[in-house]
Structure 1
Amino acid sequence: MMIIPEKNKNQKQLLSLNELSKRKVVEHNSLITSIAKMDKTPLKMFELAVSCINTEEPPKDNTVYLSKRDLFAFFKVSDNDKHRRFKEAVEKMQKQAFFQIKEEEGKGFKFKSIVPIPYVEWTDYHDEVKIEFHREIMPYLINLKKNFTQHALSDIAELNSKYSIILYRWLSMQYNQYEHYSVKGGRRAEQVEAYRNPSITVKELRTITDTVNEYKDMNNFTKFVLDKPLKEINTHTTFNVSYDKIKKGRSIDSIVFHIEKKRCADDNSYKLGDKDYQDDKKQKSRNEADLLKQAMESKYTRLLSENFLIGMNDIMDTATMVGLQKNVYPLYDELKELIGLNGVKDHLSYVASKKEAYSKRNVAKYLKKAIEQYLPTVKRQNL
């Protein structure tokens, strides 16, 4: 028997990981918004199997073949017990895992419960694993002409909780629509922007994360279903996501997410940081007194006040007003040139409707982020 040098083994493993990094997962949005009745391991295994489907030439027998090497690399398993753990994961997926799908039909809804992968076959002496999808799940994975989402398998690989995966898939669905309508048109600017700042009720979020009867205390729900998963998503995926809680009365009614795509390492474009109000090279000649005077006389200050986006304490704060005049109002001028003053008013009304009390925030930073996100959409639509 020939012994393979350790170096060659490592090269083979690296090839597998590189292959995984290029794969995409494509699913119908109904599957994204369904209830995944499974924990993270079956859910990740399902995503891995879906990435093996060639959507251009779908498998006629609903079957794909996966390398054990790929599978162990995906789950970062390298110990001697990996075959037993793989067997247990497959058994758990087939006995416990299913999707509950809710679709509109007629005057009501149709509900489906589907075990996505009922058949898996492998041997202890061969690298190949045969995975057969249930026929009822296939329409959600192939021949997708509209209402589908694509995301990177490599992002899913790094997520280590069920809630992280579910949130990531849902956020990807929203951001995919933002990118689509930004380019293709067909939606008003406010509608397009809402895809990048999607809102979901707490009730609906509990439904898709299967936590209707868990984490009854809102603090625990926030910690385990929002904060920890989003920390994982921000660390390991292409997204940076923050959120606001929206109250209705005294209770938290909904969550508004704010999704940003991470920029490439060589992108040197300006990013808002801790020095928002320091003069840059182009504005060193302008002194603070002039900026403050311009801000106090600006029609935008009045509009912000009318929409309760700034209060008297903000107006009396020199740094806030200078920051608005220097970083925010020029962007409002751009928007005014594109769609008129009423367009600026509509934007501020929209921002006011989405905000929570942000006394702990930097007001100018918040408003600058909002207009920076909105302007590109308006510019593309004007083209």
Structure 2
Amino acid sequence: MEIITKNDRNSNERTVCSLKEIEKRKIVEHNDLITSVAKMDKTPLKIFELAVSCIDTENLPKDNIIYLSKKELFTFFDVSDNGKHTRFKEAVEKMQKQAFFEIKEEKGKGYNVKSIVPIPYVEWNSYNDVVTLQFQPQIMPYLIELKKNFTKYALSDIMRLNSKYSIILYKWLCMFYNQYEHYSVKGGRRAEQVETYRNPSIKISELRSLTDTINEYKDMSNFTKRVLDNSLKEINAYTSFNVTYEKIKKGRSIDSIVFHIEKKPVAKNEYYKQEEQDPVYLENKADREVKQQALFTEAMQSPYTKLLGEKWLINVADMQDISTMTGLAEKVYPLYDELKEARGLKGVETHLSYVASKQEGYSKRNVVKYLKTAIEGYLPTVALQDLEQPERANTKKPKPRTLEEVAKDFLPDYQNETTAEEQEELDKIKADILKQMNGEDLDHE
């Protein structure tokens, strides 16, 4: 990034944020800002995101002022026609006069609403390349006080999105997927909760509020096309995500949307090279890779994988997909262990035969979710059957170990560490144990 370091606005030297290395740049915002309502069009919103990417939280801008290169600013928006200055002026005017964030924060039993114009001051002239932007002081806590509840994403992804709804949805999806990646590695959340971060749900009313479409696209089919389908088409094409969704009905109406987020295996931009220089990223990446490899190996060696293949519930492509196999090992196979404990391996096979007979029409993209849902629905039935009919429970559970078997475990270890006197005493104890097992009377001095 090309930066001239000087924070004095009155000086000829200014901190100019260049876009020459845009692929390496990140944006970090508080989650309350991510979930706020952006009352603005695409261009003002992108100007704001670009400006945020120039904030150095280790060296905060004096008076909340940052400096952009005019030339690079037009490059960011891919503007090359003769009317670019007029269009930029119109966008700035709209951002200052009409655009604002409506931030809703929970306070006790109620909530607090703030309306903040993010960048009220913009200055540029005809004789140099610098554009001056000043953030509203009230917006700064959401951009610099980032000790918790914040989201990081790529500026290059925002640059490629051409719809306001795409930008809003992308940031919202990042907020959840970042938590999925964090808790998958660090722990601290139940497995079911971690999975919801990768498959976040939102009510239609909340989605309309988030995208500022409460009074627009009232017909659901139009809303689906304009806000959902078009946005996800862009997100899937230009960002690091592949996202699908499903509609959840309540009665005859659509109540909510569940998104399914997958990270693309190969990044399409240089942003990720910048991450590779981040020690925290490297540590998390190494942990993820070790855990992923262990889960993949575990899945490939599991008898459940063989059963799933025999029942045509997974195919060769699935077994070559690391995400699918690690998902099975982590989310599904532990549940199969519970069924095996209750019904034996034959019981697992019977369950999978039934699932296979009902699988018509389900999406192979969600094979892990499909199998997990199936076994989660069946296990309570098994538990109830075992309570009502104990004879149905698995009779092939391991027998209790004998005293001799237990002794064989610990006595040799103790022998390696004991003195001669202690060894003599241990030999006597072992002899007594063997006599007792053989029904002989113990003969103590």
Normalised TM-score (structure 1): 0.71
Partner of 2:158: 156
**Residue 143 (structure 1) shift:** 2.4
Q: Which has the higher contact order (CA 8 A, sep 6+)?
A: 1
2:337 aligned with 1:341: yes
3-state SS of 1:322 partner: coil
- Kindly tell me: are residues 197 and 344 of structure 1, through their superposed partners in 2, closer, same or farther at Cα, counting changes over 3 Å? farther
User: Structure 1 stretch 51-60 or stretch 327-336: which is displaced more?
Assistant: 327-336
Q: What's the CA shift string for 1:248-281, capped at 9, x where partnerless?
A: 1111111000111111279xxxxxxxxxxxxxxx
The answer for the alignment partner of 1:322 in structure 2 is: 312
CA distance in 2, matches of 1:85, 1:344: 66
Residue 337 of structure 1: how far off its partner (Å): 6.2
Determine the C-alpha separation between the residues in 1 that align with 2:27 and 2:310: 45
Are the aligned partners of 1:197 and 1:256 in contact in 2 as well (CA < 8 Å)? yes
Alignment correspondent of 1:116: 118
Are 1:210 and 2:212 an aligned pair?
yes
Residue identity in the other structure for 2:209: T
Quick one: structure 1 residues 365 and 58, their matched pair in 2 at CA, closer, same or farther if it must change by over 3 Å?
A: closer
CA–CA distance in structure 2, aligned partners of residues 183 and 61 of structure 1: 39
Match of 1:39 in 2: 41
Correspondence for 2:242 among 240, 243, 248: 240
Q: Does 1:69 align with 2:71?
A: yes
The one-letter code matched in structure 2 to 1:367 is V
Q: Deviations over 1:349-378 (max 9, x none)?
A: xxxxxxxxx988445553246669xxxxxx
Q: Is the 8 A contact 2:247 2:254 kept in 1?
A: yes
How many residues are aligned here? 298
Superposed, 1:255-334 pairs within 5 Å as: 255-264=257-266, 321-324=311-314
Q: Which residue of 1 aligns with 2:366?
A: 366
| Aligned position for 1:195 | 197
CA distance in 1, matches of 2:221, 2:241: 24
> 1:25 aligns to what SS in structure 2?
strand
Report the Cα offset of residue 23 of structure 1. 1.2
The one-letter code matched in structure 2 to 1:152 is A
Q: Describe the superposition over 1:213-243 as per-residue Cα deviations: whole angstroms up to 9, x where unpaired.
A: 1111110010001000100010011111000
| 1:286 matched residue in structure 2 | none
How far, CA to CA, are the matches of 2:162 and 2:178 in structure 1? 23
Preserved CA contact (<8 Å) 1:335 1:343: no
Tell me what 1:11 maps to.
Answer: none
Distance 2:369 2:178 in 1: 20
Q: Using the alignment, how far apart are the partners of 1:52 and 1:122 within structure 2?
A: 17
Please tell me the residue identity of whatever aligns with 1:217: D
Match in the other structure for 1:56:
58
Query: In the TM superposition, what are the counterparts of 1:247-258 in structure 2 within 5 Å?
Result: 247-258=249-260
Q: Distance in 1 between matches of 2:365 and 2:53?
A: 39
Structure 1 spans left out of the alignment, 5+ residues: 1-14, 267-281, 283-290, 296-318, 346-357, 373-383
Query: What CA distance in whole angstroms lies between the structure 1 residues aligned with 2:252 and 2:87?
Result: 47
Inter-partner Cα distance in structure 2 for 1:118 and 1:335? 49
Residue 323 of structure 1 deviates from its aligned partner by 3.3
Shift, 1:89, TM fit: 1.1
1:74 to 1:248, Cα distance in 2 relative to 1, 3 A: same
CA distance 1:78–1:116, change in 2 (3 Å): same
Match of 1:44, SS state, is helix
Local SS of the residue matching 1:61: helix
Deviations along 1:39-76, whole A, 9 cap, x unmatched? 10000000000001001111131111111112111000
Q: CA deviation at 1:341?
A: 2.9
Q: In structure 2, what is the equivalent of residue 224 of structure 1? A: 226
1:323 alignment partner AA: L
Residue-by-residue CA offset, 1:271-310 (whole Å, 9 max, x unaligned): xxxxxxxxxxx9xxxxxxxx8xx67xxxxxxxxxxxxxxx
Q: Give the residue type in structure 2 aligned to 1:34.
A: S
1:103 to 97, 100, 105: 105
Unaligned runs of at least 5 residues, structure 2: 1-16, 269-299, 301-305, 342-357, 373-445
Q: Distance in 1 between matches of 2:123 and 2:25?
A: 22
Is the Cα contact below 8 Å between 2:241 and 2:264 reproduced in 1? yes
- Which deviates more, 153-162 or 330-339? 330-339
Amino acid corresponding to residue 22 of structure 2 in structure 1: L
> Over aligned residue pairs, what C-alpha RMSD do you find?
3.1
Secondary structure of 1:163 counterpart: helix
2: CA distance, partners of 1:240 / 1:28 = 24
1:83 maps to a residue whose letter is H
**How far is the alpha carbon of 1:18 from its aligned partner?**
4.0
